[in-house]
Amino acid sequence: MNEADIVRLLTRGHADPRALGFDDDVCVIDGDIVTSTDMLVEDVDFRLRTFSAGDVAHKALAVNLSDLAAAGAVPVGFTLALALPEARVEARWIEELATALRALAAVEGCALLGGDLSRTDGPIVIALSVFGKADRVLRRRVGSVGDRLCVSGELGAAAAGLAILERGVVGDEWARLRGKQRRPSPRVAHGRALAANEACLGAIDLSDGLAADLPRLLPEGLGAALDLSALPIAADTRRAAEMLGVDPVSLATSGGEDFELLCVLRAGAPVPAGFTAIGEIVRGAGTPLAAGFDHFVTPG
């Protein structure tokens, strides 16, 4: 089974318009309240040998805020659920986690509202639910043939950073890429700008990679003709790819965890500030890409 199969099993028999068909990472309550839930699990989403407590906290909140950003929502608060192994976690580690949470929450205007705490004999688990408000909620499954596809920021940096961390590659020249993996920046301001742009039809954040998330954005039966040479890949990401012996385009399309925003714009609309045009919607499959990330599919 893959993630989509499990979601279908879990949501069978449930039907509510606020859930957006269980086809989105957010749900919408009372028309303008947007909420999302995400978790990080030790040795699946992070390792204590490569992530500090502050890194874990920042990333846990950032990836949730990224879902709000994709919906065009302004964050207002979050709740925190934390499972900790008593024997492996000291007070200093928890203090560092709390400090990093406060720091990002203050930057994004997102207050801690409550949560839950449990002891575990297994891995550390940190799960957050975030809440925001949106005048206009950006949705998925939007667009038609000829509409433009644009992406914010850069692609492949987080995947390069992960490979560098996992392989134990040292050197200050890779510090930025390690930071992209450990402490992503939720594109909240970009999402708000898209929601205010009438030419923007919808958006998604790139958590599992362009290859995995692009089909989740487009309507059934439509694909994308991508200009792979136009993908925004930074110079240090390309250097890292060469050092690691991997294709930089593969990092950009299949690596995941960039948490940039991919949006659909009406045909002919100007590219928003901070975005790069990478293709357009076509009928059929479009440009073939290698598979993106799926928690329940083993690479190979």
Enter the pTM of the model: 0.95
| 68 pLDDT above the threshold of 90 | yes
160 and 128 co-located in one domain: no
Token duo for residue 207: 């958590």
Mean pLDDT computed over 220-248: 97
* Whether residues 168 and 114 fall in one domain: no
Judge whether 222 lies within some domain. Answer: yes
156 and 53 co-located in one domain: no
How does residue 7 score in pLDDT terms, banded at 50, 70 and 90? confident
Verify that 223 and 172 share a domain, yes or no: yes
pLDDT at 290: 81
113-123 pLDDT, tens digit per residue, is 999 999 999 99
pLDDT over 60 at 300, yes or no: no
Residue at 296 is within a domain: no
| pLDDT (average), residues 199-209 | 98
Q: What's the whole-number average pLDDT of the chain?
A: 96
- Are 161 and 278 found together in one domain? yes
Segments forming the whole domain that contains residue 243:
148-283
Is 67 in the same domain as 194?
A: no
- 240 and 264 share one domain: yes
Asked if 189 and 263 sit in the same domain, the reply is: yes
Q: Is residue 140 assigned to a domain?
A: no
Residue 195: what pLDDT? 98
For residues 207-219, average pLDDT: 96
Give the pLDDT band of residue 298 (cuts 50, 70, 90).
Answer: low
pLDDT at 143: 97
Residue 215 and residue 102 in one domain: no
Which residue among 106, 133, 160 closes a domain?
133
Q: Verify that 126 and 225 share a domain, yes or no.
A: no
Q: Are residues 153 and 127 in the same domain?
A: no
Number of domains in the chain: 2
298 domain-assigned:
no
Q: Are residues 123 and 158 in the same domain?
A: no
Is 108 a domain residue? yes
Nearest to 96 by CA among 62, 56, 63: 56
Contact 292, 254 (CB under 8 A): yes
Per-residue pLDDT tens for 249-269? Answer: 999 999 999 999 999 999 999
Domain boundary, last residue among 72, 101, 133: 133
φ, ψ (nearest 5 deg) of residue 147: -65, 150
CATH classification of the domain holding 69: 3.30.1330.10
Q: What is the pLDDT, as a whole number, of residue 66?
A: 98
Average pLDDT over residues 193-219: 97
